[in-house]
Structure 1
Amino acid sequence: MPIRMVDDPQDPQESNNDGGGGGGNSNFPGGGGGGGLFNLLPLLLGLFRGKGIIFLLIIGAGAYFLFGRGGGGCNMGNLSDLGGLARGGFLDPKQFERANIYEPLADDNTKNPIPEKANLMAYAPAVGNQGEQGSCVAWSSAYAARTILEASRSGQQGEATKFSPAFLYNQIGLDGCQGSYILRAMEYMTKQGSVPYDKFPYTDRDCSRQPDQSLIRDAGAFKMRGFNRLSLGDRNDAIDLRAIKENLAQGAPVVIGMMVGPSFMQGMMGQEVWQPQAGDDQMSGFGGHAMCVVGYDDSKFGGAFLIMNSWGPEWGRNGFGWVRYNHFKYFVREAYGLEPMPKTGAAATAAFTCEVGLVQVTQQGNKMVAGSYAPLRSISNNVFETVSPLAIGSRFKMEVKNSTECYIYVFGKETDGTSYTLFPYPNANDATKTKYSPFCGITGTRVFPHDKSMTPDSIGTRDVMAVVVSREPIDWYETNRKISSNPASDYASRVNAAFAGKQVSNVRFQSTGKGTMQFTTAPSQNQVVAAIVEITKR
């Protein structure tokens, strides 16, 4: 392709991702790399001789993979009921990586300032108690997160809009009422919906009771828009704390799967903030538990997230508790953001504004630093070009700022005239699919690609890219196939033809003083706006 992709350097600060606001270290009481069983190894090796050492090594390896951080995922398999507090969150990296990845806002506090704190408790229902059933996934997903999403959309109190955890759990639970996967809950609430609590009340004594068909049909009125995973890129072993804050700051609750043990269970009764105990870093005897994140505060306890649990008001303070950022990062294995609900009525066709620019970047140490824009000027309708040619080998990224929720797609012209998809990033092993979500319901400035830079090559003197903004999702692979047809013809004309009948008319395109281009639409039933950027090079 004329625009080449170059890997950005690994930034250790991004990998650390402590969420800011302090609390970013990984110190634990009695912690360190070799606690628990491993501190006893010298003594045990002295007691066991010969063949006994082989037996000891087998036991040690088993303990590490069952209870340690490096084992085969977080699916503990057995439900733990410690002191009457049931868990039931099955945590499996293979399940987590099936969810589409959230494309975060650019990590730039000037362009994307994140508030120091956010709190969605006002939209939450009264904290409930899952009792002896391993239904935490349904309590965190339907009763907490889905209720908060609906209450914030409708303006009603959470208690008046609360959804049934039993309706969800009884359909997605694993055998024996022993838990479920968060992904199952997210998929069901998106495809099938939810029902109000009083339509299917909860009991921890029976998970086999099934809703009738009329109730399942009623659930369709409360489908949620979708969800995505808040991980560091494609990693299934690291969550993105900044992405979680971005969601919470714009009213979107987050469901997490966390490894918890005794200090988080009985140890949190009546406590405001969780303090891990000596040896907790080994997670011996811990199990997966799903909860809902409803807020954060950079100044509270050195920086912490606010968690809504399902163990009744006795846990924490009225059922809520704070977890410091560094502990959150260490013990939380999965995080799912719920997409904001679709606008209705006049808001569904309201005008929206979007800004597109080419930001030049340079490498400084282990990170890429944004510089000035490569200025753009209008040459016709929705087509813009760079004012001055870009130097071959220089690096830049495509920057897109949306002020209204939308779906964003980026395409480019190949040397043979066909088209390729830049975003959502196609899978390396199957270009018809992507792991990334094109939905940008969390508004702000994003840069594409996120972990790479673009650079002009020496073929020809002009490269072409297209930014497509849509109110509804499009089939990006099929669209790219249409644009690729008749490759000898003008690329901009092919892009416009691919969206014939769908593009918003009377769009006002203009260059800005800082070198970007901007468009503003009038209210319209049509869904799509396409902008073409031609990049001259030398």
Structure 2
Amino acid sequence: MKKILLFLFFTFLFLEAFSQTRMGCKLDSNAYKNVFLAQIPQRGANIQLPKNFSLKQFCPTPKNQGEYGTCVAWTSAYYARTIMLAQKNKWQGTKEIDLHAGSPYFVYENIKGYTDKTCQEGAGLIIALEALKQHGTVTFSSFSKPCGQPISSELRKKAEDYKIGEYRRLFLANSKEKVLAVKKSIAQGKPVVIGLQCFFKSFIQAKDSVWKPKEKELEENWKDEGGHALTIVGYNEDLQAFEVVNSWGTLWANKGFIWMPYQYFQEICFEAYEMYEIEEPTSQIAGELKLNLSVGIEMPLKLKDGFYETTQTYQAGTLFKMYLSNTEPIYIYAFSTDLMDKSHLIFPSEQKSPLLYQNMNTTLPDENHYIQIDNPNTTDYICVLYSKERLHLPSLLEQLSALEGKLLDRIQKVLGSKLIPAQQINFQEITGIKFTAKTDKGSILPIIVAIKKK
């Protein structure tokens, strides 16, 4: 009898703790894989990640979501969106950041189901992020009722200031490189919102600064439990861990924060997203492009008659990548073609968006794959389109294949007035490709590289 009473006592304590630590993230693997994959900086693009990085100084004071299933709104609107705006607007100190912190309740009121009158049912992270994109949010102080506060037309207008431009997923649920993808985003100053399963007593009742699961705790049948949403605000290579902020108040763990070791993060995290600001349109584009062999040697190029060509010849089977940078938000499309007019898509893949945000470095086709030179004694052509507008590449390739003549001439016929006039483009004389161009009289800049083969 005494053992039964003790068991019931500890069960009650656990359930009581859980009742004070609600979750509410609906994990959806099908919806997640349909979100475009982020174009995060690549190792091959000479990106050196700092050993440690933290955005904690931009984070508002941790709060408690209480008895409501609103974690996705807290992680996206209150934490991540506020961290982004604190950096952008140079808010100084916790007091100023808290004053401008985004309201999670505004977002949840926009996304909750019709029957969810008491804000208990939770939602998916994608739905919360889409609400931030479409509606934004307002300050916490102007929308502070946890559930059921009506949204006035005046508040909807104010909420536009907190809109995001876009969001992207960082990896697939079964990826083996989740940790690296998140570190790259954090090092760019982007907080990462994550959906995970953390229904563990050691996590729910955490009191220390580092999460240490109990022995065999992660071996139990935890994948049937509900999901939760958190925000990653930093990483530390000495600790081999991410620092996350939770919506369970300052009495949880280390004043609302905890370090989650990489090894556990890799196993229990199934969704991760970064968000982007709304970019103002500009009247110019600028960027660089270089080709590197698989052994790391750059392929020298020279400008000739409106296109680039390699100064050396290469054998069939040679592997190379393209390293591309852009200064302004831009759509990137890349394909290859040969003298037989056979075209092959290089970028974007089906899972990736062609849109690159400001000041990005990207590897084409991607970090794990190369472009291979095929038939000998011919010339291959690589075409990269820097575009201010979204294009339908399959249709473009079909039109190009239907025409005869040089590739540049065919591109000019198909794209016509959308091309930036040559006199508005400035190419710098270097071994790679570096350019600036005005876009007031056109929106697309084609860069063609002829690869000579032995």
1:224 alignment partner in structure 2: 164
1:509 alignment partner in structure 2: 427
2:66 alignment partner in structure 1: 131
Query: For 2:76, which of 130, 135, 141 is the aligned residue?
Result: 141
How far apart, CA to CA, are the structure 1 residues paired with 2:193 and 2:86? Answer: 16
2:192 alignment partner in structure 1: 254
How far apart, CA to CA, are the structure 1 residues paired with 2:63 and 2:416? Answer: 48
CA deviations over 1:347-379 (Å, ceiling 9, x no partner): x53866422122111xxxxxxxx4212221110
1:279 alignment partner in structure 2: 216
Q: 1:127 offset after TM fit, Å?
A: 1.1
Taking the TM superposition and a 5 Å limit, the aligned residue runs for 1:422-461 are: 422-426=346-350, 434-441=351-358, 443-458=360-375, 461=378
1:244 partnered with 2:182:
yes
Cα contact 2:17–2:204 (8 A) shared by 1: no
Structure 2 CA distance for partners of 1:114 and 1:352, relative to 1, 3 Å: farther
Cα contact 1:503–1:528 (8 A) shared by 2: yes
Structure 2 CA distance for partners of 1:481 and 1:395, relative to 1, 3 Å: closer
1:334 partnered with 2:277:
no
CA deviations over 1:384-439 (Å, ceiling 9, x no partner): 0011222112222222133555432213336553755321113xxxxxxx544532
1:196 partnered with 2:139:
yes
Taking the TM superposition and a 5 Å limit, the aligned residue runs for 1:305-454 are: 305-339=242-276, 341-344=277-280, 349=282, 353-361=286-294, 370-381=295-306, 383-413=307-337, 416-417=340-341, 419-426=343-350, 434-441=351-358, 443-454=360-371
Amino acid at match of 1:105: P
Q: 1:245 offset after TM fit, Å?
A: 1.4
How far apart, CA to CA, are the structure 2 residues paired with 1:192 and 1:400? Answer: 33
How far apart, CA to CA, are the structure 2 residues paired with 1:129 and 1:120? Answer: 20
SS of the residue 1:349 aligns to: coil
Cα contact 1:127–1:319 (8 A) shared by 2: yes
2:237 alignment partner in structure 1: 298
Query: For 1:151, which of 86, 109, 113 is the aligned residue?
Result: 86
Cα contact 2:291–2:299 (8 A) shared by 1: yes
How far apart, CA to CA, are the structure 1 residues paired with 2:159 and 2:382? Answer: 42
Q: 1:166 offset after TM fit, Å?
A: 0.9
Q: 1:218 offset after TM fit, Å?
A: 3.9
1:164 alignment partner in structure 2: 103
Structure 2 CA distance for partners of 1:100 and 1:490, relative to 1, 3 Å: same
Q: 1:192 offset after TM fit, Å?
A: 2.8
Amino acid at match of 1:359: N
Q: 1:490 offset after TM fit, Å?
A: 2.4
Cα contact 1:508–1:519 (8 A) shared by 2: yes
Q: Which runs of 5+ in 2 are unaligned?
A: 1-14
SS of the residue 1:384 aligns to: strand
Cα contact 1:385–1:535 (8 A) shared by 2: yes
Q: 1:199 offset after TM fit, Å?
A: 3.2
How far apart, CA to CA, are the structure 1 residues paired with 2:245 and 2:416? Answer: 44
Cα contact 2:22–2:69 (8 A) shared by 1: yes
How far apart, CA to CA, are the structure 2 residues paired with 1:297 and 1:485? Answer: 51
1:367 alignment partner in structure 2: none
How far apart, CA to CA, are the structure 1 residues paired with 2:354 and 2:212? Answer: 35
Structure 2 CA distance for partners of 1:353 and 1:264, relative to 1, 3 Å: farther
How far apart, CA to CA, are the structure 2 residues paired with 1:375 and 1:227? Answer: 36
Q: 1:149 offset after TM fit, Å?
A: 1.4
How far apart, CA to CA, are the structure 2 residues paired with 1:521 and 1:264? Answer: 56
Cα contact 2:282–2:328 (8 A) shared by 1: no
Amino acid at match of 1:179: G
Amino acid at match of 2:199: G
SS of the residue 1:244 aligns to: helix
Cα contact 2:185–2:192 (8 A) shared by 1: yes
Cα contact 1:105–1:447 (8 A) shared by 2: no
Cα contact 2:198–2:228 (8 A) shared by 1: yes
Amino acid at match of 1:357: K
Structure 2 CA distance for partners of 1:390 and 1:237, relative to 1, 3 Å: closer
2:6 alignment partner in structure 1: none
How far apart, CA to CA, are the structure 1 residues paired with 2:52 and 2:442? Answer: 37
Structure 2 CA distance for partners of 1:308 and 1:503, relative to 1, 3 Å: farther
Provide the identity percentage. 27
Cα contact 2:321–2:363 (8 A) shared by 1: no
Cα contact 2:427–2:436 (8 A) shared by 1: yes
Mean CA deviation greater in 110-119 or 309-318: 110-119
1:117 alignment partner in structure 2: 52
Cα contact 1:122–1:158 (8 A) shared by 2: no
Q: 1:322 offset after TM fit, Å?
A: 1.0
Structure 2 CA distance for partners of 1:173 and 1:284, relative to 1, 3 Å: farther
Cα contact 1:102–1:436 (8 A) shared by 2: yes
Q: Which runs of 5+ in 1 are unaligned?
A: 1-78, 362-369, 427-433
Amino acid at match of 1:296: Y
How far apart, CA to CA, are the structure 1 residues paired with 2:325 and 2:203? Answer: 43
Q: CA RMSD in A?
A: 3.0
1:493 partnered with 2:431:
no
How far apart, CA to CA, are the structure 1 residues paired with 2:205 and 2:359? Answer: 36
Cα contact 1:164–1:202 (8 A) shared by 2: no
